[in-house]
Amino acid sequence: MLSGGSDSDDGLLWDITTPTRPGRVPGVAMAGFGDRGVTPPGLRLIPHPAVTLVLVFGGTIAVEDAGGRRRQGSFVAGLGYGEALRTLRADAFECLQVRLSPTLAHAVLGAAVADLDGAAVALDDLLGREAARMCDRLGGLSSWADRFASVDGWLAQRRAESRVAPEVAWAWRRIVAGRGVVRVERLAAEVGWSRKRLWSRFRSQLGLAPKPAAKLVRFDHAVHRLVAGQDAAGVAADGGYTDQSHLHRDVVAYTGLTPTTVVGEPFLAVDDVAWGWPGRSSVVGPGRSP
C-alpha cells in the first residue's frame, strides 16, 4: 500500500510516495521521490537526526558542502547532514531515500558511518560494486511497491549484529524519547559510566557526542513545530530552550535562517509529506497506484 503527494496539491517540489506498512527492520523510514521539473537550484538542506541513504536510479542529484565541493549520484550522509551539506541540485531524477537511526546505520553500513560527521560520501565508496547493482535493480523495477520491498529486503539481509555498545544504543533512545531534553550527566549515571566514557563511546560509534546529538534532536522537533504554525515563544518554552533567544541561536546555527523565515523552507514541507511531520503516522494526500 502506498500514499503519495505532489506539488500540484501540496505546493511541494516533487512527487512523493511512501510505504504505509512497516518494513522488517525497525529504525528505518523510506520515501520515493520523482522530479517534476520545479526543483530550484541550490535547494537548502536542513540537518536531521538520522543517517541518510539516497539511492539515485534516474537523472542526477548532487549535493554541495559549504566549501562548494560537489558529490553527484547516490550517497550516504552522516548524522545531522545539512550542517556540512548546504545545498542540493537535481535534474529529472528518481530516487529512493532511506533514513536510518544511527545505531541501525552502524549495523547495516558498518562503523565507517560514524566518521561522516554530517558530511556525505559516494555510496560506492562505502559499498563498492554493490551500490551500482542495487541502483540498477531499482531502476529496472516498475513500481514503488517493488522498490520499497527490494530495499527492505536488502536492509534485512545486510543487517548484522550491532557492535554499538548497549549503553550507547540506550542513551540514543533516551535522547530521542526525550526530544533532546536530557542531561549527559544523567545519561552517564543511568548506564553506570563516567560522563567522559559515555561521550567518547557515543561519539566514536554514532558520529556525534551526546550533547550535540541531543541538541540536534531538540532542534528537529522545534523546527517542525515552527513550520506547523506554533509561535516561537511557545516552542522555546515547551522544547527545553532557556528562552526564545536560545531557540533563535540554534535555528540560525543549523540553517542560517531565523525562526520566522525558516518556516518557508521547501525542504521542511517535503518532510511533512514524506516523513509524516508533524506527528502523523502516515502520509496523507491523493493515493497513487503502485
- DSSP letter assigned to residue 23: -
pLDDT in the model for residue 112: 87
Q: Which runs of E-coded beta strand occur in 23-157?
A: 28-35, 43-44, 51-65, 70-72, 75-77, 85-100, 120-122
Sequence-separated (6 or more) residues with CB below 8 Å from residue 126: 76, 109, 110, 112, 113
* Alpha-carbon gap, residue 277 to 6, rounded angstroms: 16
pLDDT in the model for residue 32: 95
Burial of 250 (0-12, 13-18, 19+ CB in 10 A): buried
**What is the second-level CATH architecture of the domain 166-262?**
Orthogonal Bundle (1.10)
* Alpha-carbon gap, residue 113 to 115, rounded angstroms: 5
Distances (CA, A) of 254 to 74, 187, 202: 24, 25, 21
| Domain definitions of the chain by residue range | 2-162, 166-262
Q: Which of 30, 41, 34 is nearest to 16 (CA)?
A: 34
pLDDT in the model for residue 101: 93
Dihedral of CA 239/117/275/10: which sign? positive
CATH of 2-162, one of 3.40.190.10, 2.60.120.10, 3.90.226.30, 2.70.70.10: 2.60.120.10
Topology match between the domains 2-162 and 166-262? no
Q: Which of 174, 209, 175 is nearest to 195 (CA)?
A: 209
* Alpha-carbon gap, residue 272 to 262, rounded angstroms: 14
Cell of 115: 566518521
pLDDT in the model for residue 11: 57
Q: Which of 51, 147, 47 is nearest to 94 (CA)?
A: 147
- Helices and strands (H, E) in the chain, number of each type: 13, 9
pLDDT in the model for residue 281: 31
Sequence-separated (6 or more) residues with CB below 8 Å from residue 188: 194, 195, 197, 198
Pairing of strands 51-65, 43-44: unpaired
pLDDT in the model for residue 9: 45
Cell of 83: 550542517
Question: What are the mean pLDDT values of the chain's consecutive 10-residue runs (290 residues total)?
Answer: 42 82 89 83 85 92 79 88 76 91 90 85 90 95 95 90 87 96 94 96 94 96 94 95 96 93 88 68 29
Burial of 117 (0-12, 13-18, 19+ CB in 10 A): middle
pLDDT in the model for residue 36: 79
pLDDT in the model for residue 85: 67
- The continuous run of DSSP H or E covering 254 comes out as helix 244-255
Identify the residue whose cell numbers are 517493488. 146
